[in-house]
Structure 1
Amino acid sequence: MSAAEIAMRHGAKALVVQVQHNTSGRPGPRAITGKYRASWQSDVHRAGPVIVGEVGTNAPQARRLEFGFVGVDSLGRNYNQPPFPHLGPAVSGFGSLLVRELRSAVSRSL
């Protein structure tokens, strides 16, 4: 495993930890059971020379919690739910960290 791949794995895991932290109360959502918080995962894989890191969840409520929802859902329930951003703020804070780690990994391997 290359230094750049290790750095990407570390960055993706750190992003998951930050998202999980952000789901533990305001301004993010209040995770009551911890099931939603635990649903966040990371995966890093190679596509030739490109290293791809993915962070996400398969929880159906993720989009609604992040962006809010106003209107009637498919079951006829009326909502006026404000957004509780937790992924966006985590990504904003981790971009520069990941760039630094990748730059350091590349310079070590040269």
Structure 2
Amino acid sequence: MTPDEMADRLDRAAARVPDAIYKAVDHTGVLGQARIRGNASGRPGPNVITGAYRRSWVSVPRRIPYGAQCTLGTTAPQSRRLEWGFTGIDSLGRHYDQPPFPHVGPAIDFITMTLHAQMRFAVAEVLA
């Protein structure tokens, strides 16, 4: 391969990087959301009563300059209590001694490894 051919190949790859990164980050977010939801489906995570808490977890990807980011989260008010537990009196004067039911923390290593793998796939895809 001549230097000019290599330069052309790298130019084409560079143009495809943002889409490849977005795709990888989006896919990682979806898998992370599924892992968190799975962890919130019974012990050692929280038990399922209605399923509303599990469904409240969302993955929101977005493009940023030269890449992408994804936010995994929930607006459910019980999320922090379920993850870390709560001992004390709440704003209504009720006393709680609720143990933690971790479901997000245990998913972090999986999400990290998945993102690393997805980035390797993205690089391989743009250089193919």
TM-score normalised by the chain length of structure 2: 0.82
TM superposition shift of 1:19: 0.7
Is 1:17 aligned with 2:41? no
Q: Which ranges in structure 1 are unaligned for 5 or more consecutive residues?
A: none
Partner of 1:52: 69
Dislocated runs of 4+, deviation >4 Å: none
How does 1:21-40 map onto structure 2 within 5 Å? 21-40=38-57
Conservation of the 8 A alpha-carbon contact between 2:22 and 2:67: no
- The count of corresponding residues between Structure 1 and Structure 2 is 110
Report the 3-state secondary structure (helix = DSSP H, G, I; strand = E; otherwise coil) of the residue aligned with 1:33.
Answer: coil
How does 1:64-79 map onto structure 2 within 5 Å? 64-79=81-96
Deviations 1:23-55 (A, max 9, x none): 110000002000000000001111211311110
- CA root-mean-square deviation: 1.1
Conservation of the 8 A alpha-carbon contact between 2:44 and 2:101: yes
Deviations 1:38-81 (A, max 9, x none): 00000111121131111000000000000000000000000000
TM-score normalised by the chain length of structure 1: 0.95
Structure having the larger proportion of residues in helix:
2
Partner of 2:111: 94
Is 1:107 aligned with 2:107? no
Q: Which ranges in structure 2 are unaligned for 5 or more consecutive residues?
A: 1-17
AA matched with 1:12 = G
